[in-house]
Amino acid sequence: MILNGMIVNIVKGDVATQKAEAYVVPQYCNKLCLTGVSARLVNTDCYAAVNAYEESVKKYANPFGYAMPVKTEGTKAKLLIHSVVLGMPKKTEADKKRVFSNVQLATYAALVCAEKHGIKNLVLPALCTGSTGSLTYFDSARAIMSALSVCPTPKSVRNVTIAILHSDRAYRLFVSGSKHWLHNRPYYIDKDYKSMMDYQSVMGKER
């Protein structure tokens, strides 16, 4: 589909096997995630860029929604964008709404970060799903699509691939959530979400 001037593809597969200039890697605010995309990229020439996140959070925690870019030394990709989406409370309905908003913020931040670094092709997973997340694939799709739609139209990023790893059912749920969002766009742009516009200026800083 075409969204905000970008070609957005939803594929079934592993993020780490997709060809791209940058990968979005879900992370905790204060420690390295040892599963999922992070663990799979450790087994590639992006190893040092994954471990750089661990070294960073030993010094200070990152805020939820933050996008931390790390340039890679290998040939697989130019950049890893560590996205802080894991570890938020998820017991109550209010918690789940905050997680949803954080995935929106993290997606927005990752796209802004990719744009600042001149990335043309970006790959990300279904954020905050799986064993370390708290969203359904349906809700993750709605959060990600809504964020992609309201970013300032990118001049550099032309292709965004969202890779769904786990099962046919997960893939179908994500596609269904994307279609649902397309028919209900106004509902998901609320006052808290609009605060992304103010937060944009602090996204993607190298520390």
Choice between 193 and 156, residue whose per-residue pLDDT is larger: 156
Confidence of residue 205 (pLDDT cuts 50, 70, 90): very low
Choice between 186 and 48, residue whose per-residue pLDDT is larger: 48
Choice between 6 and 40, residue whose per-residue pLDDT is larger: 6
Choice between 107 and 44, residue whose per-residue pLDDT is larger: 107
81-104, pLDDT tens digit by residue? 999 999 888 778 888 889 999 999
Beta bridge partners of 161: 9, 123
What number is the average pLDDT over the span 10-24?
92
pLDDT confidence of residue 122: 96
pLDDT confidence of residue 114: 95
The verdict on pTM exceeding 0.85 is yes
Determine the straight-line distance between the first and last CA of the chain, rounded to whole angstroms: 35
Return the domain boundaries, the chain: 2-201
Which CATH code for domain 2-201?
Answer: 3.40.220.10
Place of tokens 């590639």: 44
Confidence check: pLDDT of 50 > 70:
yes
Percent of the chain predicted with pLDDT > 70: 89
126-144, pLDDT tens digit by residue? 999 977 778 999 999 999 9
Enter the tokens of residue 185: 């766009």
CA distances from 136 to 2, 26, 111, 127 (A): 24, 16, 22, 10
d(CA 167, CA 164): 8
Q: Using CB atoms within 10 A of its CB, is residue 43 exposed (0-12), middle (13-18) or buried (19+)?
A: exposed
Confidence check: pLDDT of 204 > 60:
no
CA atoms within 13 A on the CB side of 167: 6
Nearest to 190 by CA among 156, 148, 154, 147: 147
Instruction: Enter the DSSP assignment of 190.
Output: -
Confidence of residue 192 (pLDDT cuts 50, 70, 90): very low
Confidence check: pLDDT of 44 > 90:
no
CA angle 35, 148, 114 (to 5 degrees): 65
- Per DSSP, helices labelled H in the chain are 36-42, 47-57, 93-116, 137-150, 168-182, 196-199
pLDDT confidence of residue 139: 94
Confidence check: pLDDT of 34 > 70:
yes
Q: Please answer whether residues 203 and 66 qualify as being in contact, where contact means their C-beta atoms are separated by less than 8 angstroms.
A: yes
pLDDT confidence of residue 182: 83
Place of tokens 């269904």: 176
Enter the tokens of residue 14: 């592993």
Average pLDDT score, the chain: 86
